[in-house]
Chain A
Amino acid sequence: MSTSPPSLDKAPEPGEPPVVLERPALTHGSLPRRAAPLALLLWTALGLALYLGADLNPVVAGLIAAVGYTVVICGWSRSVEGPRKAHDRLVTAIVTGAFLVALLPLVSVLGAVLSRGLERFDADFFNNSMRGVVGEGGGAHHALMGTLIVTGLAALISVPIGLLTAIYLVEYGRGALARYITFFVDVMTGIPSIVAGLFAYALFELFFGAGVRMGIMGSVALSVLMIPVVVRSTEEMLKLVPNELREASMALAVPKWRTVLKVVLPTALAGIATGVTLAIARVIGETAPLLVTVGITSSDNFNPFDDRMATLSVFSYNQYATPGIPPEPFLDRAWAAAFTLILVVMALNLLARLISRLFAPKTRA
């Protein structure tokens, strides 16, 4: 406003105090822009000082810093910005804190696997089996090969079934059957892995008698776990294929099956390959079903249809569960196997991401 409002206190009545008109504030006050980061920095520094200087437990120091920051920022905000904003800041602090807490185990797991796994992560480990090894030395060559064979066979079983089922659900499925299959595929993702192992054992026991152990049993058990994952991811990918492509193909009088094989599948191929890779990554680390079906052996056996095989995960468990004297070399081998396993899984995940990036269908932007 250009003109100042008529001031009342210019001519006050004698004997009365001057009346001061107060303009009601239209906005709440707010904290300075950098208030939250600054407070956080301050409390983090304090927590670090407590940890380094006062030799406090890092967990306790972190807790003090987190609680201190939350209390300060909420109290400050409450006095300046009012309870609603303070509440908002409290929730922000809690949500962020929860996320950081959830990261701790991941960091800790990776750290542990890295530091302990490197102990025996050497050429010997990949060139030797455990044949005749009672103490130090030995390796997991047989287990690594076993894992690749068993998982490869599992993929060989589940990919065709999974792919065809997904095609059925997207291209053909109508009515009750499709609904049931969708639902039970979902339910099947939740089958405990040990139950899948028991199923494979029960199935093969009928034909081969009690106590049977074979690599292919492990593959069957893993397929039970893998099929639903393949179906779900393939289904999602097939649904993304634009209907226009199918219609164009059909308009050219291409039979439906050729449309699916030559148009739909190639379009979705990158996504399907990604899904399959992730599915393999999911089952390659399974231990329980292999423990009850494939068992463990200390020497090379690369024939999945004959007797026990070694696999990395069971190898790791076995080394940990039945250590000799002294136990250190056994534990080192267990961690080295775990490290190898995690490397394989990470590599597969990376590969999946690469596939989906490199081979995705070219779209004109």
Chain B
Amino acid sequence: MSSSTELRHPENQPPPPPGAPLFDKPVSRLGDKLFSSAATGAGVLILVILAGVAAFLVVEAWPALWADPEEVPGGDGIVLYIWPLLFGTLLAAFFALLIAAPLAVAIALFITHYAPRRLATALGYVIDLLAAVPSIIFGLWGLSELAPLTVEPTRWLEDNLGFIPLFEGPASTTGRTMLVASIVLAVMILPITTAVIREAFLQTPRLHEEASLALGATRWEMIRMSVLPFGRSSIIGGSMLGLGRALGETMAVAIVLSPSGGITFNMISNGNPSTIAANIALDFPESSGLDINILIASGLVLFAVTLLVNMAARAVINRRRDFSGAN
């Protein structure tokens, strides 16, 4: 492709002096230079933007990091302010992943290996449709439809499984619990996780599958022996991408939870920690001065955590490309 070099045409040109190179120097046109530097510039700009996101957050968070502990809401300093929020973020995202990951594997399997061929593409669209629903709608749905549905089951959980710290209770009467937030998050991260896993399952070498079927394996044995091992790193990577999404999801959690602070594993009561993103969304519009810096500092923590999770996820997914055996 990089062939703006021109071959000398033997008839039209005098024979080259001995020792001259066979090719002319590559012709470099102004248009080429402009265009390639514009393209390169755009690429570099993206790196700059990403660095800028980090830099501006650090600059804005700086005053909060050295603020007098008294001035931070709660009065115990920035670390103790952010820690419960971080805990809530991790808790909600973890349980969301716990629900979503097995479902995503099952859905991906269904679409790639179980559904009738003609239906499969349409079903893929349907799942992608979930991804297109704006998060505010999931929030409204979680609060008005899902939350009331969970009131009775959580009461049952409290009565019968109350000895497990997760279901300690007292069960919420409104349903605005960590459990509901996790379920909503799970629904929201399902499409991205499914998409990554589905992609990997589709790439399973056809010959592996046919070989195991030919040896008499049932469909499940074929999947267990050839599809799942092949897709393992994608399952991990897709789940981690979903985790990253769940960590940063804002509006759905902000609407569903009624935060009361405090660190608890209790999933079904009204008293639960908020998440970083939801806390920012709830407090930012009415904040000013140092409070804004503090919120941005918490945003910086969230950014760092999601960045780590996403980079790890991408690294895992990319590793598969090299060793997959499909290429």
Asked if A87 is at the interface (CB within 8 A of a chain B CB), the reply is yes
Judge whether A113 and B134 touch: CB under 8 Å.
Answer: no
B: residues with CB less than 8 A from A are 1-4, 6, 29, 31-32, 34-36, 38-47, 49-50, 52-53, 56-57, 59-60, 102-103, 106-107, 109-111, 114-115, 123, 126-127, 129-141, 144-146, 149, 187, 190, 218-221, 223, 241, 244-245, 247-251, 254-255, 277, 280-281, 284-285, 288-289, 292, 295-296, 299, 302-303, 306-307, 309-311, 313-314, 318
Chain A's nearest CB lies how many Å from the CB of B124?
Answer: 11
Q: Choose, from A5-13, A138-146, A191-199, the stretch at the interface.
A: A191-199
**Bound-state Cα–Cα, A103 to B284, Å:** 35
CB within 8 Å for A202 and B110 given contacts A108-B141, A292-B281, A334-B140: no
Judge whether A317 and B144 touch: CB under 8 Å.
Answer: no
Q: List the A residue with the shortest CB-CB distance to B59.
A: A202
Q: Which residue in A102, A257, A295, A313 is a CB contact (below 8 Å) of B134?
A: A313
Chain A's nearest CB lies how many Å from the CB of B92?
Answer: 13
**Bound-state Cα–Cα, A257 to B218, Å:** 54
Q: Which residue in A88, A94, A187, A317 is a CB contact (below 8 Å) of B251?
A: A317
Q: Which of A100-129 contact B (CB under 8 A)?
A: 101-103, 105-106, 108-109, 112-113, 116
Judge whether A161 and B42 touch: CB under 8 Å.
Answer: yes
Asked if A305 is at the interface (CB within 8 A of a chain B CB), the reply is no
Judge whether A95 and B39 touch: CB under 8 Å.
Answer: no
Judge whether A345 and B134 touch: CB under 8 Å.
Answer: yes
Q: Which residue in A103, A108, A192, A211 is a CB contact (below 8 Å) of B250?
A: A192
Q: Which residues of A contact B307 (CB under 8 A)?
A: 187, 190-191
CB within 8 Å for A171 and B137 given contacts A192-B249, A199-B53: no
Asked if A328 is at the interface (CB within 8 A of a chain B CB), the reply is no
CB within 8 Å for A172 and B36 given contacts A187-B50, A288-B281: yes
Judge whether B106 and A95 touch: CB under 8 Å.
Answer: yes
Judge whether B219 and A313 touch: CB under 8 Å.
Answer: no
Q: Which residues of A contact B136 (CB under 8 A)?
A: 285, 287, 313, 316-317, 338, 341
Interface size class, chain A: 35 or more
Q: Which residues of B contact A189 (CB under 8 A)?
A: 310
Chain B's nearest CB lies how many Å from the CB of A90?
Answer: 8
Judge whether A180 and B47 touch: CB under 8 Å.
Answer: yes
**Bound-state Cα–Cα, A205 to B318, Å:** 38
Q: List the B residue with the shortest CB-CB distance to A256.
A: B32
Q: Which residues of A contact B309 (CB under 8 A)?
A: 190
Judge whether B127 and A102 touch: CB under 8 Å.
Answer: yes
Asked if A303 is at the interface (CB within 8 A of a chain B CB), the reply is no
The contact string, 1 if C-beta is below 8 Å from chain B, for chain A 175-192, is 001101101111111111
Chain B's nearest CB lies how many Å from the CB of A297?
Answer: 12
**Bound-state Cα–Cα, A169 to B53, Å:** 22
Judge whether B107 and A192 touch: CB under 8 Å.
Answer: no
Chain B's nearest CB lies how many Å from the CB of A93?
Answer: 10
Q: Which residues of A contact B29 (CB under 8 A)?
A: 255, 257
Q: A184-B50, A334-B140 are in contact. List 17 more A-B contacts (CB 8 A).
A: A95-B110, A95-B114, A171-B1, A171-B39, A172-B36, A172-B39, A178-B43, A183-B314, A186-B314, A194-B299, A203-B52, A210-B288, A224-B49, A250-B3, A285-B137, A288-B254, A295-B285
Judge whether A161 and B306 touch: CB under 8 Å.
Answer: no
Q: Which residues of B contact A198 (CB under 8 A)?
A: 57, 60, 280, 295-296, 299
**Bound-state Cα–Cα, A177 to B103, Å:** 38
CB within 8 Å for A257 and B49 given contacts A102-B103, A210-B288: no
**Bound-state Cα–Cα, A165 to B302, Å:** 27
Judge whether B135 and A285 touch: CB under 8 Å.
Answer: yes
Q: List the B residue with the shortest CB-CB distance to A87.
A: B220
Q: Which of A316-345 contact B (CB under 8 A)?
A: 316-317, 320-321, 334-335, 338, 341-342, 345
**Bound-state Cα–Cα, A109 to B281, Å:** 23
The contact string, 1 if C-beta is below 8 Å from chain B, for chain A 142-181, is 0000000000000000001111110111011100011011
Asked if A306 is at the interface (CB within 8 A of a chain B CB), the reply is no
Judge whether A88 and B218 touch: CB under 8 Å.
Answer: yes
